[in-house]
Structure 1
Amino acid sequence: MDLAARSPAYEGLAIELAVEDEGWHDAGLGDLEAFARRFVEAAARRAGVPDDVETELSVTLTGDAAVQALNAEWRNKDRPTNVLSFPIRQLQPGERPGPLLGDLVLARETVEREAAAEDKRFADHAGHLLVHGMLHLLGHDHIDDETADAMEALEIEALADLGIADPYADAPEHL
């Protein structure tokens, strides 16, 4: 097959982006949809998702108050967190996604606080959280040491593919 005639990888991966907190526009990430796509695709690639997949996910960039409300309602944790993942269907790692993958929701203020506390670039930390959340949608988890190590390895590899250093190098615990 002629490589020029081949469709781009992950052309069938649709991302519906919602920006509910205007601070995301001022965060220095450029085109927010392109930013999200870059990290979501890197996670999909490292998780072994075929590049001809036809699936859709939503990415909501919001603030602490909205994430706190979702976290309280769905996880019984009445506090903001950095990223929430809501899969449409629980996948097993390596399982091909269906037409609807799920939702990722990021809280800007928490991401900013964590990036500052860990002396990381906001863009790198936000990107890491998109990778992390996407891996959750694809069935990966960090419930125990074995699954956490496997998930972290995928995150490290996906981020390295994008020129971003190991986010766990100095981190005291799992996300």
Structure 2
Amino acid sequence: MLVDVVIEDPRWNEDSLQTLAEAAADAALRKLGHDPSGFEVVLLACDDGRIAGLNAGFRGKAQPTNVLSWPEWDLSADAEGDLPHPPEAGSEDDPEPLGNIALSYDTCTREATEQGKNFDDHLRHLIVHSVLHLLGYDHIRDKDAALMEETEVLILAQIGVSDPYEAGAEMPL
């Protein structure tokens, strides 16, 4: 299993989220030339209270956010705008952990509504975005942000999700 979903908030539909997360993570890894069967991601499906606590503990920001990610390895590029270092894959029987992702139902739902986006497409975007973080992509420096956004848009197009930045939306945290 590529994505191990842990449901903390019962408003999440476990089967739907599992299918959606697997497809989004699979698309991201394949687009970047990686065999998804060699990797594993843990996805925590929680609420604003839980993600605010995680955000405070790990980023010093005591507020809810849509998504957080914690890479297992630092694969970041050596120079701004360069591709991150490739991860070392495990096997189907012993996949390599890429890291952890947390999604807040409250914030994701609110954002999708406010931005007029399909909820599932918004989740697909956030999962692709987070998998890219686990793979060493980032958006702090301008050239890195441009590379990450371009990569996201290409992956999302492959799975039928329109460009989430067309309307001037900001990149997720």
Alignment of 1:121-136 (within 5 A): 121-136=118-133
Does structure 1 residue 24 correspond to structure 2 residue 12? yes
Gaps of at least 5 residues in structure 1 are: 1-12
One-letter amino acid matched to 1:59: L
One-letter amino acid matched to 2:87: R
The answer as to whether partners of 1:71 and 1:81 remain within 8 angstroms in 2 is: yes
Does structure 1 residue 54 correspond to structure 2 residue 32? no
The answer as to whether partners of 1:59 and 1:104 remain within 8 angstroms in 2 is: yes
Query: CA offsets, 1:60-114, max 9 Å, x none?
Result: 1111111000000000000011110011111132412452211010001100111
The answer as to whether partners of 2:41 and 2:97 remain within 8 angstroms in 1 is: yes
One-letter amino acid matched to 1:40: A
Distance (Å, rounded) in 1 between the aligned partners of 2:88 and 2:125:
21
The equivalent residue for 1:83 is: 67
The equivalent residue for 2:134 is: 137
**1:157 CA drift (Å):** 0.8
Alignment of 1:4-23 (within 5 A): 14-23=2-11
Which of 155, 158, 161 is 1:158 aligned to?
Answer: 155
Which of 106, 128, 131 is 2:103 aligned to?
Answer: 106
Query: Percent same amino acid among aligned pairs?
Result: 38
Per the alignment, do residues 110 and 97 of structure 1 end up closer, same or farther by CA in structure 2, a change over 3 Å counting?
A: farther
Count of matched residue pairs: 159
RMSD (CA atoms)? 1.7
The equivalent residue for 1:41 is: 26
**1:48 CA drift (Å):** 2.9
Per the alignment, do residues 172 and 126 of structure 1 end up closer, same or farther by CA in structure 2, a change over 3 Å counting?
A: closer
* TM-score (norm: length of structure 2): 0.85
SS of the equivalent of 2:12 reads helix
Stretches (4+) displaced over 6 A? none
